[in-house]
Chains A and B, each alone.
Chain A
Amino acid sequence: GAVVSQHPSRVICKSGTSVKIECRSLDFQATTMFWYRQFPKQSLMLMATSNEGSKATYEQGVEKDKFLINHASLTLSTLTVTSAHPEDSSFYICSATRNGGQPQHFGDGTRLSIL
């Protein structure tokens, strides 16, 4: 079946650090990838839709200059949390779809902790 790999699985760093998270589709081409954030005991909230070769589409309230998304190839999208602060601590999860269809296949998530 489809596999989506997300790296790293956990990051602990100091406030002000920028953190890059990678999302790879391992056995299919993903024209569309999605980035979610999940706070404790809450559901997944979509942050942005990442389209290969074009700018990401951000959801309302998500700062595009703080959460930089690059989808440079059909198998890789990256999310960079710039100048991270403690309030950015969360569980970040990516998903990918074949040819923009459904269903979405999720990566294992990245737990980000900003001290």
Chain B
Amino acid sequence: QKEVEQNSGPLSVPEGAIASLNCTYSDRGSQSFFWYRQYSGKSPELIMSIYSNGDKEDGRFTAQLNKASQYVSLLIRDSQPSDSATYLCAVIGAGNTGKLIFGQGTTLQVKP
């Protein structure tokens, strides 16, 4: 079992729709969770960080964390073609080494 799992996609949504990206992790002691966006040929860009159960909203983005179920999700409202990218879920495991463990990434395609 991979430490951080994501559906590789592609996830295709029409412009203006809500895109829902999901991620599960295996280390129950994990405390810090991040979503990064990566455009083709570019380095990752931090979108959201979340540390406690519940929802965290920032503009069109909402991160949701459920530690009991060991999943974290990212919702993108009013999806735009410019949101088309690969979204990487990253987790810092127990032990607080600071090391990020990345999922495979989900490719999102927003069609005009």
**Chain A interface residues (CB < 8 Å from chain B):** 6, 32, 34, 42-46, 49, 93, 95, 97, 100-109, 111
Complex-state Cα separation, A93 to B88, whole angstroms = 15
**Chain B interface residues (CB < 8 Å from chain A):** 32, 34, 36, 41-46, 49, 88, 92, 97-105
B42: chain A residues at CB < 8 Å are 108-109
Could you tell me if B43 and A102 are in contact, using CB atoms closer than 8 angstroms? no
Complex-state Cα separation, A109 to B45, whole angstroms = 12
Could you tell me if A109 and B43 are in contact, using CB atoms closer than 8 angstroms? yes
A106: chain B residues at CB < 8 Å are 36, 43-46
Could you tell me if A105 and B46 are in contact, using CB atoms closer than 8 angstroms? yes
Could you tell me if A49 and B98 are in contact, using CB atoms closer than 8 angstroms? yes
A97: chain B residues at CB < 8 Å are 98
Complex-state Cα separation, A57 to B101, whole angstroms = 16
A109: chain B residues at CB < 8 Å are 42-43
Given contacts A102-B49, A103-B34, A109-B43, contact A44 B102 (CB under 8 A): yes
B45: chain A residues at CB < 8 Å are 106
The 8 Å CB contact of B100, one of A42, A46, A100, A108, is: A46
Given contacts A49-B97, A49-B99, A104-B100, 5 further A-B contacts (CB under 8 A): A42-B104, A93-B44, A97-B98, A104-B46, A106-B36
